[in-house]
Structure 1
Amino acid sequence: MPDSLDAQPGLPRGARLGVDVGKARIGLAASDPDGLIATPVETVPRVLDGGGAAPGPVTADVARIVAEAADRFAAVVYVGLPRHLSGAEGAATADARGFAGLLAAALAAAGERAQVRLVDERMTTVTAHQALYASGRKGRKHRSVIDQAAAVIILQSALDAERASGGRAGELVEVQRA
């Protein structure tokens, strides 16, 4: 009989990371190795190099996430995919896809086994603002933690989907080979 703490007997153990990609900041969250609960990690300043998804030197923001994945022996990095409420994709979606591609390439180049997967993040920032407001945090003080709170929501949603389906959530990002 499986141990009651073994949340996904069909999935290998390993922490999961959640990433909320913004224009100025990136929220980062992590789970325990069994994928039970998401917790905030940090807010990483975004590096906009104007290069899009083209391969090149690893930027400091991507390098920080790769280091966190290595430190935690992460199995998966879930990147939020911001779609419109209708499900349509826009500029922010393209930006998140490009970032996820760069992250997947950087993880592979570093010899990390973590998959990068895109998961729907509609309404996560709104939900994060509401949760912070409900906890008594004033609106002006949200900026320092809103991205982390959104990353926690992205990750917890993916963890819940893993438990419900018995498989990884979201869309796998393939590493583009030159």
Structure 2
Amino acid sequence: MHFDSQLRQSYRRGVTVLTLEELAEQTPPGTPWLGLDLGEKTIGVAVSDTTRIIASPLQLIRKTKFTDDANAVLKLMDGRKASGLVIGLPLNMDGSEGPRAQSCRAFARNLQRIRTVPCVFQDERLSTSAVERFLIEELDLNRKRRANVVDRTAAAWILQGALDRLRV
């Protein structure tokens, strides 16, 4: 199934998810977006600049319970005056959705129950492995140092991918 058609299916599943173009149209110019890499134990967070050209790693949230995790994300949005979210969607290599993708959709759906937040899903296949490879080959970081930066760097990779797609 094509990724854009999967986004459209999000509407039918009760999640208010936009296309990337709709996110750009519906969020105020000059406001950044946050990118999220939703892992099992952590949430990597990245932020764009106000021109939405460059994404930078921001923070790592250690997951506890959903309400606390959601409030931490919303607090970061408020603090940065971010107007939208780009959430990594970990699709399988064949484009299908597994349990991790369903978990990401559930996070977005539950977040919308707390506050309506404009968001889009971004295909994140291989983002973590690409970031790991970069951290090893280019920055020569050891395993412990990589563990501290990989998730927020993956969030930046996901957000940057969305920003780049807008400029194409």
* Equivalent residue, structure 2, for 1:100: 108
- Count of residue pairs brought into register by the alignment: 141
Shift of 1:48: 4.4
User: Is 1:118 the equivalent of 2:121?
Assistant: yes
- Alignment partners' CA distance in 2, 1:39 and 1:104: 25
* Equivalent residue, structure 2, for 1:70: 78
* Equivalent residue, structure 1, for 2:32: 15
TM-score by length of 1: 0.75
Gaps spanning 5+ residues in structure 1: where? 1-9, 50-58, 109-113, 165-178
Shift of 1:119: 1.0
Q: Percent identity?
A: 30
Instruction: Find the residue that maps to 2:50 and give its secondary structure.
Output: coil
- Alignment partners' CA distance in 1, 2:101 and 2:65: 15
Shift of 1:36: 1.1
- Alignment partners' CA distance in 2, 1:26 and 1:76: 16
* Equivalent residue, structure 2, for 1:147: 151
Could you report, residue by residue, the CA deviation over 1:78-129 in whole angstroms, capped at 9, with x for unpaired residues?
0000001110110001001101112233232xxxxx4111111000000110
The worse-fitting range, judged by mean Cα deviation, of 124-133 and 67-76 is: 67-76
Shift of 1:75: 2.1
TM-score by length of 2: 0.79
- Alignment partners' CA distance in 2, 1:26 and 1:74: 17
The worse-fitting range, judged by mean Cα deviation, of 114-123 and 90-99 is: 114-123
Instruction: Find the residue that maps to 1:157 and give its secondary structure.
Output: helix
Instruction: Find the residue that maps to 2:103 and give its secondary structure.
Output: helix
* Equivalent residue, structure 2, for 1:32: 49
Instruction: Find the residue that maps to 1:83 and give its secondary structure.
Output: coil
Which one-letter code corresponds to 1:81 in the other structure?
L
Cα 1:163–1:105 shift into 2, 3 Å: farther
* Equivalent residue, structure 1, for 2:91: 83
Q: Tell me if structure 2 keeps the 8 A contact 1:78–1:117.
A: yes
Could you report, residue by residue, the CA deviation over 1:111-153 in whole angstroms, capped at 9, with x for unpaired residues?
xxx4111111000000110111121101232111110011000
Shift of 1:46: 1.2
Which one-letter code corresponds to 1:138 in the other structure?
N
- Alignment partners' CA distance in 2, 1:107 and 1:126: 32
Structure with greater helix share of residues: 2
- Alignment partners' CA distance in 2, 1:103 and 1:131: 32
* Equivalent residue, structure 2, for 1:7: none
Gaps spanning 5+ residues in structure 2: where? 1-23
Which one-letter code corresponds to 1:124 in the other structure?
S
